[in-house]
Structure 1
């Protein structure tokens, strides 16, 4: 238990916990091209913070409710005059702006905006660790339980329907998982960087993985490695922890982007040789 008294060790555990959930979930975000969707859901977190503080409820609950409400509303949007990416962009920035404005109206409440925007992983407590790992286990368990249905609905909604799988239901599962991840990850990397932890490790893993399952596991590993490397760099270089984690993940992506084509060529040559 002495190790848990070390703030760096707690920060590393928090980062690894978020990465274990964000990696597999981020794979579906990449496969389904839901980056803007994830961004809009993450930006709604700040609005949830303001509403929770105003109502005197736990911040985690406010963030979860706001993120889930925005995500469900976007999932149920009717076809209209605006393209999906345009609407998602509007909602993402509107939610962030409304959250910032709402926070400014709170009187007698001290709000660490930088912490909510960019995370404050070095201030993670034992209670925060329990929440983060509990949420991560729920997200990972939800994805594991619905893996076959999620994969079928991602590859081909029509084929999934023919197999008796409801694509709309699987999208709701992803929506719930995404909202839950946003609620537990805001303490670690903040509202502005959550989407990066979803997308960057998954994109880095894509060039090395040969199966969807291996990509999910590799994305979790890359995210965990980026969390530990980012925290170490933050401690040594006195840089912000949340952005440092994302920079480490981007570095892994650049390595993957450079090595991926060569690895693909080697696999192709090996398969031809056999």
Structure 2
């Protein structure tokens, strides 16, 4: 069954959604969308370093994503607004990565595959990486759910309860770094944040509790994956962007439904 590239693509998207659903919910609640963009852009520098040092692509992107997460955590702990710093780090790392790739000896690189993903080219080893990372992140969020949620809703109350909000924020940023590393081949650096934010934002329109929102975001990610792949096959469009378009259509439909229900 895994010899069918469409089946592998569907499994990759489903495995990724297991992590992006709950993690994307925290990204929406904490307004971390800009950090997701910055980490994804910086992942291109990780690709360049991996090519130059003959390392696995996922390892290079993971190292750079971790570095970005730690830099943001350090800026936040010093009371600095991370927006400007993120902008500098994001575009500097993206540009440096694009330049560095040109110095990779004897390597012909299709940058569009890293920028927009190439889910139809997912291999069995990629599936192991995506599912391993997705399940690990989902398990981590389930394990620390109450701590993460309380730190998100009320940092002061979390601190009074003996929870370190800074540490929980670092857990989320490092988790986001892992998701970026394992999803680069699936949806690409420019679309990772969309896969995190759009299903979670759509789920927010109809969910009545944080748990329901996280679970609904997972289901929406699954539907967007399958719908996007179907649309890509039927209309001969790029698979990764088609998945994001499917998620956006679901968001639009649920937003209209929510508005009608309120009225």
Measure the CA separation in 2 of the matches of 1:132 and 1:16. Answer: 9
Measure the CA separation in 2 of the matches of 1:135 and 1:248. Answer: 24
Higher Rg: 1
The farther-off stretch of 103-112 and 203-212 is: 103-112
Partner of 1:23: 21
Partner of 2:88: 90
Structure 1 stretches of 4+ with a deviation exceeding 4 A read none
Measure the CA separation in 1 of the matches of 2:249 and 2:214. Answer: 19
Structure-2-length-normalised TM-score: 0.96
Partner of 1:169: 167
Closer, same or farther: CA 85–204 of 1 in aligned 2, 3 Å:
same
Structure-1-length-normalised TM-score: 0.93
Q: Give the unaligned 5+ runs of structure 1.
A: 266-274
Asked if the contact 1:234/1:244 (under 8 Å) is kept, the reply is yes
Describe the superposition over 1:199-230 as per-residue Cα deviations: whole angstroms up to 9, x where unpaired.
Answer: 00000000100010000000011011101111
Partner of 2:212: 214
Pick one of 187, 196, 201 that aligns with 1:198.
Answer: 196
CA RMSD across the alignment: 1.1
Pick one of 143, 146, 149 that aligns with 1:145.
Answer: 143
Measure the CA separation in 2 of the matches of 1:196 and 1:89. Answer: 18
Deviation of the 1:30 alpha carbon: 0.2
Measure the CA separation in 2 of the matches of 1:242 and 1:60. Answer: 18
Partner of 2:112: 114
Asked if the contact 1:208/1:263 (under 8 Å) is kept, the reply is no
Q: Give the unaligned 5+ runs of structure 2.
A: none
Deviation of the 1:262 alpha carbon: 2.7
Partner SS, residue 65 of structure 2: helix
Pick one of 133, 136, 151 that aligns with 1:135.
Answer: 133
Deviation of the 1:261 alpha carbon: 2.3
